[in-house]
């Protein structure tokens, strides 16, 4: 399935977050609860893993679906309601409130994926290009 900003604006009020600072996203903007997207997409029951894909970076992060489905949000518009800037973080950004420091836990800040274009579901862990050591994390975040 594909979603546009207009599609996400059409979600129910309780599924949308009109001010993303309420969930800890400092830049503000509009967001949709990831759980609301899952209700519509309905991944195959074997799809226990989700992979977040930002092919322009290229960056991939794969994590068990269960660990994020209630916490994750997708930032889809800036505070003025316009599409996210593709040069900075668009078209979408996956965000986890209260994520752990990078490299410390599976659910870390590296799952706050900017330039998000695709989320796939699989029965096994998918492609994951997140850095594995502290120095590589530091280099990634300096970009």
The predicted structure's pLDDT at residue 50:
93
**Number of structural domains found in the chain:** 1
For residue 18, pLDDT over 90 is answered with: yes
Structural domain that includes position 92: 5-142
Q: In the structure, what pLDDT confidence band is assigned to residue 126 with cuts at 50, 70 and 90?
A: very high
Q: In the structure, what pLDDT confidence band is assigned to residue 99 with cuts at 50, 70 and 90?
A: confident
Q: In the structure, what pLDDT confidence band is assigned to residue 121 with cuts at 50, 70 and 90?
A: very high
Q: How far is CA 119 from CA 13, 28, 60, 109, in A?
A: 23, 22, 10, 17
Q: Region 87-94: what's the mean pLDDT? A: 92
Q: In the structure, what pLDDT confidence band is assigned to residue 69 with cuts at 50, 70 and 90?
A: confident
For residue 70, pLDDT over 90 is answered with: no
**Is the whole-model pTM more than 0.85?**
yes
């Amino acid at each position: 399935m594909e979603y546009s900003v207009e599609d996400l604006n059409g979600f129910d009020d309780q599924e949308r977050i009109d001010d993303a600072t309420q969930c800890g996203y400092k830049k503000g903007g509009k967001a949709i609860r990831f759980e609301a997207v899952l209700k519509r997409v309905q991944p195959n029951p074997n799809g226990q893993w989700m992979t977040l894909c930002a092919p322009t970076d290229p960056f991939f992060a794969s994590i068990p679906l269960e660990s994020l489905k209630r916490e994750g949000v997708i930032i889809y518009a800036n505070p003025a309601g316009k599409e996210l800037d593709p040069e900075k973080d668009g078209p979408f950004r996956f965000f986890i409130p209260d994520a752990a420091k990078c490299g410390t836990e599976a659910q870390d800040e590296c799952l706050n994926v900017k330039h998000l274009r695709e989320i796939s579901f699989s029965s096994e862990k998918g492609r994951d290009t997140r850095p594995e050591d502290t120095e590589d994390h530091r280099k990634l975040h300096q970009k």
